[in-house]
Copies of this chain bind each other. A is one copy, B any other.
Amino acid sequence: MALIVQKYGGSSVATTEKISRIAEKIVAEKRNGNRIVAVVSAMGKTTDNLIKLAKEIISEPPEKEMDILLSTGEMVTVALLCMAIEKLGEAAEGFPGYFAGIKTDSVHTKARIQTIEPARIIKELEKGNIVVIAGFQGLSPDSAITTLGRGGSDLTAVAVAAAVKADACDIYTDVDGVFTADPNLVPEAKPIPEISYDEMLEMASTGAKVMLSRAVEFAKRYNVPFSVKSTFGAGEGTMVKELAMKEGTDVSAVSLDAKQAKITVFRVPDKPGISSMLFTALGKENINVDVIVQNVSKDNFADISFTVNITDAEKTLKITKELGKEVMAENVVCDRDIAKISIIGIGMMNHPGVAGRMFHALGKERINIEMISTSEIKISCVIKKSDGAKALKTVHAEFIES
């Protein structure tokens, strides 16, 4: 008898018909002799509708009230899923996140989980009930409803799995697991049977957003293996867990992030502290800087290039121009016509020549590399956006298909 935590996202519960089908899956698992905790999101459009109502009242709704408002979305799904389960003859017990013992800090709309007190969940499981929990929400120290922000329901599932010491944690989604590349761009892409937490984190940061990093980071910290599966598909999905170094398979996946912009500061006087000033200023504005390259020229002037998310480009350019003026840089420019192609794999650090092989593959296709960034399990190249699709196919063919 296994204890299984399952998470069903917004598209999996978008209609009452889908909720009824999920109930069938859950009941089948229960009748296989397992104990089930299901974590659910709000039904497809619910959240958007609630946000629309709030904006009719006030253009920038206060966050504490936004949390009360949005938390109702998952509660509706909880109630409906329990009904569908009971219709099939099994007992269900549904909770809002705050009754499930999920305690957070007080940062409304993006609260962080502090502790989980799973006594009530465990009590209901022991009674033989299927437990259904509203994802995405918790309770602050002063007993206000909080929500966990984007990717919050995944986080609820992983955190509950850790707290109840689940045997399995299944994140159900509308894709068949994690792929070697985006199947929409690379028809040859195939599902990855298992992947490490670190690779999964790198994939999130390279633009392959199957899941947001927060839940993966939590899973890594508390070592909660989980799988990513298709809700209504039949595949085995991808198991994400702590993996030993793999022999042979040096590259697990290839990803393309076409939503970046490159900022270049030309001829900065090469004095210590200038980069630090710049990146501290951007950090204060919550701008995540990704790839950074700095070339020092012979005459004590440096060029600094870095990439940011394209939605932050305008703000970044403004801040960088102000600072560039201060330090007497020659010029600051922004290039929105770029993309980042990355290869990811925990085996790659032990395989010299992987980087060279990637550059060679791109070169053969006359794709110019503008910037390079490497970590122990990732190599990223910034290229022209128009080369993106070709680069992805080429690199996928080189490392995955060969």
Interface residues of A (CB under 8 A from B): 16-17, 19-20, 50, 53-54, 56-58, 61-62, 64-66, 68-69, 71-72, 75-76, 78-80, 82-84, 86-87, 92, 94, 96, 99, 120, 143, 145
Q: Pick from B57, B62, B96: contact of A20, CB below 8 A.
A: B57
Distance, CA A183 to CA B50, complexed state (A): 38
- Beta-carbon nearest neighbor of A78 in chain B: B68
B83 touches A65 (CB 8 A): yes
- Nearest CB on B from A20, distance (A): 6
Minimum-distance CB pairs A-B, first 7 = A69-B79, A72-B72, A16-B56, A68-B79, A65-B82, A58-B87, A65-B79
Contact sample, A vs B, 30 pairs, CB 8 Å cutoff: A16-B56, A16-B57, A20-B57, A50-B76, A53-B80, A54-B80, A57-B80, A57-B87, A58-B83, A58-B84, A58-B86, A62-B82, A62-B83, A62-B86, A65-B82, A65-B83, A65-B86, A65-B92, A66-B79, A66-B83, A68-B75, A68-B82, A68-B96, A69-B80, A72-B72, A72-B75, A72-B79, A96-B145, A99-B143, A120-B143
Return the chain B residue nearest A52 by Cβ: B16
Classify the interface of chain A: helix, strand, loop or mixed.
helix
Q: Are A83 and B99 in contact (CB under 8 A)?
A: no
Residue of B nearest to A69 (CB): B79
- List of B residues within 8 angstroms of A53 by Cβ: 16, 76, 80
Shortest distance from the beta carbon of A352 to any chain B beta carbon, whole Å = 57
Q: Complex: how many Å from CA A84 to CA B55?
A: 10
Which residues from B are CB-within-8-Å of A19? 57
Q: Once bound together, how far apart are the Cα atoms of A62 and B120, in whole Å?
A: 21
User: A138 to nearest B CB, angstroms?
Assistant: 14
- Rounded to whole angstroms, the CA-CA distance of A19 and B64 in the bound complex is 18
* B-side contacts of A71, CB under 8 Å: 75
Q: Say whether B72 contacts A76, CB under 8 Å.
A: yes
Query: Other than the known A16-B57, A62-B82, A72-B79, what 20 A-B pairs have Cβ atoms closer than 8 Å?
Result: A53-B76, A53-B80, A54-B79, A57-B87, A58-B83, A58-B86, A62-B83, A64-B82, A65-B82, A65-B86, A65-B94, A66-B79, A66-B83, A68-B75, A68-B78, A68-B79, A69-B75, A69-B79, A96-B145, A120-B143
What residues of chain B lie closer than 8 Å to A57, measured between beta carbons? 16, 19-20, 80, 83-84, 87
The CA of A54 and the CA of B62, in the complex, are separated in Å by 31
Chain B residue contacts of A61, Cβ below 8 A: 83
User: B residues within 8 A CB of A96?
Assistant: 68, 145
The interface residues of chain B lying within 8 Å CB-to-CB of A68 are: 75, 78-79, 82, 94, 96
Distance (whole angstroms) from the CB of A401 to the closest CB of chain B: 45
Complex CA gap A62/B91 in Å reads 11
**In whole Å, how far is A147's beta carbon from the nearest beta carbon of chain B?**
12
CB distance from A381 to the nearest CB of B (A): 46
Note all chain B residues with C-beta closer than 8 A to A69: 75-76, 79-80
